[in-house]
């Protein structure tokens, strides 16, 4: 099973949004084990994002592509193949370092993994 969350967030000038996934149905992984992919784009230069899973950084703060549209699969992949376990918090932090509000477009795919033991 694949779960997709997708949206856009307005990031005010010179601010940080701690988690754009807050309030999403699958903000916490529903699977015992899953593999995830993160896609991201921005409306203009100046956005950086960082993905943390259960408090562990998956990416360093990373510049976002300037496409001014929803992410296209597979063109706008930021990081792929990361692992997440059931109940772990997915935290996608976004920083706007400019003097104007920018739009951050994001997509997260979670693919249920088969656990063999």
| Interatomic CA distance for residues 80 and 22, integer angstroms | 21
pTM of the model: 0.94
Q: Is the peptide bond before 74 cis (omega within 30 degrees of 0)?
A: yes
| pLDDT tens-digit map of 53-93 | 999 999 999 999 999 999 999 999 999 999 999 999 999 99
Q: pLDDT band for position 114 (50/70/90)? A: confident
Q: pLDDT band for position 18 (50/70/90)? A: very high
Q: pLDDT band for position 104 (50/70/90)? A: very high
Question: What DSSP state is assigned to residue 64?
Answer: P
Question: What DSSP state is assigned to residue 31?
Answer: S
Tell me which CATH homologous superfamily contains domain 2-112: GOLD domain (2.60.120.680)
**Mean pLDDT, rounded, of the chain:** 96
CB atoms within 10 A of CB 7: 14
The structural domains of the chain, with segments of one domain joined by +, span 2-112
| pLDDT tens-digit map of 36-64 | 999 999 999 999 999 999 999 999 999 99
| Interatomic CA distance for residues 104 and 54, integer angstroms | 22
77: helix, strand or coil: strand
Angle at 58 between CA 93 and CA 22, to 5 degrees: 35
Residue 76: per-residue pLDDT: 97
Angle at 58 between CA 54 and CA 62, to 5 degrees: 130
């Amino acid at each position: 099973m694949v779960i997709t969350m997708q949206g856009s967030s307005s990031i005010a000038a010179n601010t940080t949004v701690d988690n754009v996934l807050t309030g999403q149905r699958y903000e916490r992984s529903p699977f015992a084990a899953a593999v995830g992919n993160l896609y991201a784009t921005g409306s203009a230069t100046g956005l950086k994002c960082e993905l943390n899973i259960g408090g562990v950084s998956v990416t360093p703060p990373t510049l976002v592509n300037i496409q001014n549209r929803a992410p296209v699969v597979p063109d706008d992949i930021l990081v792929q193949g990361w692992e997440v376990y059931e109940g772990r918090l997915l935290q996608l932090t976004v920083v706007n370092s400019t003097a104007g509000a920018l739009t951050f477009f994001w997509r997260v795919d979670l693919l249920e993994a088969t656990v063999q033991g």
